[in-house]
Amino acid sequence: MDSIQDVNFTEIVMTYGPNILWAILTLVIGLWIVKLISQGIRRGLDKGETDETLKGFLVSFLTILLKILVYITALGMLGVEMTSFIAILGAAGLAVGLALSGTLQNFAGGVMILFFKPFRVGHFIEAQGHMGTVKEIQIFVTILTSPDNKTILIPNGPLATGSMTNFSRQPTRRVDWTFGIGYGDDLDKAYEVIKRLLGGDERILEDPEPFMALKELGDSSVDITVRAWVNASDYWPVYFRMNEEVYKTFDKEGLSIPFPQRDVHIHNPE
């Protein structure tokens, strides 16, 4: 009995061993070649004038496609009939497609993003409750880097069909402030001081011209709204700088910056 088993094992090894060995070699070498091809494609896209937004998507898509071809080739060396295998693969693909409808939706969303270009790599956007700079658009997800250097992955499906704010699409942005002065302070003088501070910052554009107006007579302050236009990259530096300058200058000019106050009257029945 042992001799029969030894013979059967030897026959199996002699019959299928070479095919298994070639399949393993094909798989290992094929995946290594796919890696080299992917790196070559990446370098070629980097040297060319290809849109940065397309690079991550194309590389990841072609890499997955080439890996699938390597796996199919390895299975063919094991003696698997490709016609039957493709039929099984098609049926399995249908079942998997139904199960992974969200993944397919993300793929379609990635294609829509690349076609309509609502944003590009390097743009600062807000979407799906997250804000960050677009670093890469892949097949299924878009990768953002938040202002505090966190990596955020957003599925392409909801990103393509949901609302999104692109802060980098336009070359200029409007900066809005609200400055309060106390009741009894000189309103015209406040206008003069704010106008002087705006004119002293070269980053603030002259066209459109800065705008100032009395916004509201609040409970504790007279509120002045101020609007000015800057290049998109200067938005936050100008915003913070203006707040600092107004705080320092108002006090020197005799203008008060009020805080909420409340008069309390005590009624004594006696």
What is the predicted pLDDT for the residue at 27? Answer: 79
Per the confidence metrics, is the pTM higher than 0.85? no
Distance CA 168, CA 233 (A): 8
What is the predicted pLDDT for the residue at 227? Answer: 97
Kindly indicate the confidence band of residue 241, based on its pLDDT and cuts at 50, 70 and 90: very high
What is the predicted pLDDT for the residue at 81? Answer: 61
Per-residue pLDDT of 176-204, as tens digits, reads: 999 999 998 999 999 999 999 999 999 99
Residue 222 near residue 228, CB atoms below 8 Å: no
Distance CA 182, CA 218 (A): 10
Distance CA 163, CA 266 (A): 52
Residue-wise burial string across 164-186, b where 16 or more C-beta atoms lie within 10 A, e elsewhere:
beeebeeeebebebebbbeeebe
Task: Identify which of 15-19, 90-94, 140-144 has the greatest average pLDDT.
Answer: 140-144
Which residues partner with 179 through β-bridges? 224
Q: Report the range of poorest mean pLDDT among 14-18, 148-152, 208-212.
A: 14-18
Query: Identity (one letter) of the amino acid at 9?
Result: F
CA count, 13 A, side-chain hemisphere, 116: 10
Query: Residue 149 pLDDT > 80, yes or no?
Result: yes
DSSP 85-118: HHHHHHHHHHHHHHHTHHHHHHHHHHHHHHHH-S
Q: Give me the residue label for tokens 């409007």.
A: 174
Q: Is residue 208 reached through a cis peptide bond, with omega within 30 degrees of 0 on the bond before it? A: yes
